[in-house]
């Protein structure tokens, strides 16, 4: 018995096993995501940040590789840059902050599901911004840009509130 990505309990029956892997079947659907997304808590949060970041990196890279971002003007260039510099970079920042901040600042940043709020805001607002770029909608692009700035501010405030809520110093190893 295992728990899938949605938290549903599933049972697999092993059909065949060999040196190169195994075949199993299930009577109900199981939602699987590579690696640690099946975990819970901080591990899942970090994994989702990384996966989302890689998706934005792939989109930005595809736009740049197509040459359209360079040939067709500012809108696709803007979409590619923001997919990489906001989507990828800030997903990595959000995902690594709970591990890096305690090591660098010696302040505990406890995990809380509230960390998903700025992450979701970042991705929804970035999707709006890129839709505005691709659809030549200045209002969507502006709303997405405001949402991007708000997501970063909300993340900083959330991280600060979580750190202050515990107000524990991580002991130094000296």
How does pLDDT run across 24-67, given as a tens digit for each residue? 777 777 655 555 455 678 888 998 999 999 999 999 999 888 87
Give the pLDDT of residue 70.
64
- pTM reported for the whole predicted model: 0.71
Contact 148, 125 (CB under 8 A): yes
Distance CA 85, CA 8 (A): 35
The 3 state secondary structure assigned to the chain is: CEECCCCCEECEEEEEEECCEEEEEECCCCCCCCHHHHCCHHHHHHHHHHHHHHHHHHHHHHHHHHCHHHHCCHHHHHHHHHHHHHHHHHHHHHHHHHHHHHHHHCECCCCCHHHHHHHHHHHHHHHHHHHHHHCCCHHHHHHHHHHHHHHHHHHHHHHHHHHHHHCCECCCCC
How does pLDDT run across 143-170, given as a tens digit for each residue? 999 999 999 999 999 999 998 886 555 5
Handedness of CA 114, 119, 158, 35 (dihedral sign): positive
Give the pLDDT of residue 121.
97
């Amino acid at each position: 018995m295992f728990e899938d990505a949605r938290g549903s309990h599933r049972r697999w029956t092993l059909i065949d096993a060999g040196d190169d892997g195994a075949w199993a079947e299930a009577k109900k659907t199981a939602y699987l995501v590579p690696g640690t997304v099946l975990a819970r808590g901080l591990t899942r949060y970090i994994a989702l940040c990384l996966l989302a970041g890689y998706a934005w990196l792939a989109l930005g890279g595809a736009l740049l590789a197509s040459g359209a971002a360079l040939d067709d003007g500012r809108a696709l260039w803007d979409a590619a840059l923001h997919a990489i510099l906001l989507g990828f970079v800030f997903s990595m920042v959000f995902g690594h902050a709970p591990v890096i901040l305690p090591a660098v600042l010696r302040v505990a940043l406890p995990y809380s599901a509230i960390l998903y709020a700025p992450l979701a805001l970042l991705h929804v607002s970035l999707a709006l911004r890129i839709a505005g770029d691709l659809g030549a909608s200045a209002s969507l692009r502006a709303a997405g840009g405001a949402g991007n700035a708000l997501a970063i501010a909300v993340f900083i405030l959330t991280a600060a509130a979580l750190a202050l809520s515990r107000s524990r110093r991580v002991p130094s190893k000296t």
